[in-house]
Amino acid sequence: MKIFNPSTEEVIREIPEDSSESVKQKFLLLKDGQKEWWQTPITERIKCIRNFSYSLEKHNQELAKILTSEMGKPLWQSHNELKGAQYRIKFFLENSEKYLSEEWVNVADSTLS
């Protein structure tokens, strides 16, 4: 499959196309990974997401150029798109532990609910 810059119609790169079997294998890999991720303590998951956020910030210029070449948008729009992603990630970093922690709503006698 050829990836084109829509502004210049230049071929940026070629990547192999997926087959039904390769899509199935990728799905199974992701499905297994989700089970492992779910069992990972929330503090470790937040740490992984924080590292991803740092990588976005560190490679902002390079990623913005890639977005621009693949989407044909102005560079400033690519920077804004990355900034928007970082704001959303920041929200989840600040709130995930609070909202995803186990919470007991009712503790009465020996009944927990």
pLDDT at 113 over 60: no
H/E element, 111: strand 111-112
pLDDT at 102 over 60: yes
Please report the pLDDT score of residue 107 as a whole number. 67
What's the chain's length in residues? 113
How many angstroms separate the CA atoms of 4 and 24, rounded? 26
Look up residue 83 and give its amino acid: K
How many angstroms separate the CA atoms of 50 and 44, rounded? 10
Residues 22-80 have pLDDT tens digits of: 999 999 999 999 999 989 999 999 999 999 999 999 999 999 999 999 998 999 999 99
Please report the pLDDT score of residue 84 as a whole number. 96
Please report the pLDDT score of residue 54 as a whole number. 96
How many angstroms separate the CA atoms of 49 and 46, rounded? 5
Do residues 59 and 46 touch, judged by C-beta distance below 8 A? no
Tokens 């929330």 locate to 42
